[in-house]
Structure 1
Amino acid sequence: MSSPCKRYNCTQCCMETEMPLSNDDVKRIEKLGFDRNHFVINNDGWLQLRNLNERCVFNDGKKCTIYDSRPEGCKFYPVIYDESEKCATLDEDCPHRDEFKISDADLEALASLVAKLNSERKQRK
């Protein structure tokens, strides 16, 4: 069974994204030939995907153009880290969130990514 995102051709997660990027994400996307100034913004030490026309620069209006090399955070979506609650949760903005389940492996991997992003941000500040 395919993911709800693909089944419904849903790109809601790409709209007005604030997706954080790790240094590895940036390097991987640069290897595709993109200049970091095209897709990265620095928001108080956080590297984030740039938006163009209210959507991720890599969304062409129908799909992600770098899907196989997309950022780690995009791979987890709709599982997100709620900073105020300090835990993983399903994003309320996802119209198909009820079709996803959070596994223990997801929680561990997301916690590892959050720690990595926080560490990289501290190095930038």
Structure 2
Amino acid sequence: MGAQEDTALVRRGYEAFSAGDMDTLRELFTEDAVWHTGGTGALSGDKKGRDAILAYFGELYSRSNGSLKLTLEDVATGGRYTIGVQSGRADRDGKTLDQRTVIVFTISDDKVIEALEMAEDTAVASEFWS
């Protein structure tokens, strides 16, 4: 798989997430994929396995009462990683989260095997989601 295919896979993932299309998202991850989320909040840490990753996505939706909106600003693909830069906005309990996040994807055989999510301000993100 090449850079164009990896970029297309990440874009397809963002489209599926925005549409709430969990079936498509399920297809994009290996069964044993790992998602790492930085910070110290309740949602920080490693999500091991496709089901745990999808549950994490559902928790983001649930905790924001469906208000979470992500906009993919750019995708860059190198020899080893594909990087998505997103802006995100969500409302929760009278608070608003509005910041950028970088996600570093490791892709193999047209599937995400690992993702590392790094928020612009992990302390703010951790507090918002906790």
Same fold, TM-score > 0.5, yes or no: no
TM-score (norm 1): 0.28
TM-score of the superposed pair, with normalisation by structure 2: 0.28
